[in-house]
A and B are shown apart, each in its own frame.
Chain A
Amino acid sequence: MPLALDIARAHLLGRRRQSLVAILGVTLGVAFFIAMSAMMHGFQNYFRTQIVDSNPHIMITDEIRRPARQPLALLHPEAAVSVARVLPRDPVRGIANAGAILDALGRMRGLAAAPTLRGQLILRRAGRDYAVAALGIDPVLEARVTQLAGNLVAGSLDALTRQSNGVIIGRALAAKMGAGLGDTITGVATTGASAALRVVGLFSTGIETQDLGQVYLQLAREQALENRPLVVNEIDIRLDDITRSVAMAKEIEGRFGFKAAPWEETYSRILAVFLLQNIIMTTVTGAILVVAGFGIFNVISTVVLEKARDIAIMRSIGLSRRVIVRIFVIEGALVGSVGTMLGWLVAMAMAAGIARIPAPGATDPNETMRVAQSLDLYVVASLIAMAAAVGAAWLPARRAARTDPLAVIRGAT
């Protein structure tokens, strides 16, 4: 064993209790960092996949982020002209040329697109009214883009294709209305137009607002009810590679002019909350590691004071300042690495424990908390802990190397 390591080990063993406290500090910091991060990431990943699976990755809507340059501004390009609240000339809002856009999207690689006309509908059944959002869809394209097909618990999208008066409603809404597959419901649009709709499918997403407040019709049927023939106000896009969502959205928006929002934009608030969660978590566990650093600083400072004679004789024998620094930095590294490795074990145990806790508010009682442990977490926690340990040892180590051996030898003789 190298001399410095040998001496470092002897010093720590000579201060067993303090060393143990310092080690446990590191263990706690590392374990909490890993376990808490894993829990948070597990939850966030779960949430993210839920969002990504149940929503279009990019949504083109009939909005234009920047209105066209207005004549006044064009006339005076140098002037400071600001025209606010520019209204579109076309009173029928919708995505113009939706057909052409869909054709163009259809030729692009790595994505599938489906048109939607979103409107409002009152469903009337047994003398009661239910206000819902009505989505006119193309069942064939929709199947490629959203999870609707997968969420069906009865009936099929094919049935909607075949049945021009078909409607797919949430199972929860059906139960509330007392309607079932094959029953007829009256739908009244805001235009006053109405139609007798036949339930051809029931879906369940687990998201209450959707299960109770959203129904699907054929696109043509919805266009007729809204009296907006051939109009589409939303195009949903599913990507093969969701990491490209932001770039693709930008490209699509640049090409067609309509607002194309990637899912990150639509859910930016939740993502911001996640970020905040991560910052708070990192700060708190970081604080634990700082406290662990104090523990290490404490034990090594004590050893440095206690071992003044040993340091003096080693220097007089000819051991350099570097060797003295090395001894105490190694002590920090020893505490740090033993604490870190114990921290891994505790973290694994904590993660396993968390993964058994039932998820709060889950519909399925067997659902437990999600834990996403990754090698990255272990590596990051270890690096932070080792940096804290070595940093905390560095200060007393330098003081040890600076002390004048003669002063000690004089004092002892």
Chain B
Amino acid sequence: MALGLEASLGDTAITTKLDAVVNWGRQYSLWPFVYGTACCAIEFMSTAASQYDISRWGAEVVRFSPRQADLLLVCGTISYKQAPVLKRIYEQMPDPKWVVAMGACASSGGIYDNYCTVQGIDTIIPVDIYISGCPPRPEAVLDALIKIQDQIKGESVLKDRHKDFKGILD
């Protein structure tokens, strides 16, 4: 039985917190922008294809314009040549936005500890979730998605999460 305000409104309305309702919506309608550069992107293709089917988590609306996306999936190696492009794409995405570093390369440079490879994209843009593996299996990508959803649950709509981030290109 409902108490307080809900009691007087009957079955037609429920009361909740703004954060809760907004986050609920955000969680299940993430629109990914796939920044696929290398081998990891092939595993993302598998994640999106029928067998793993990313749409079971409501994230199948893959956008190819950063302006329409709120989940940046960086799948693959980022070289220094590529870094300004990645940063630009990130900046073009409207807030709120989340970033997943898929695979060893995006997370840390992976096996490419050399002159041309960025040693982890978190030196350029803020990252929320890292996925290990070279490449990670599709299940791991789905796991990361679930983790982002969990994280969103606890966020506040009023807080700017990455206000103080400073990368090597800033």
A joins B in a complex: no
Which residues of B line the A interface, CB within 8 A? none
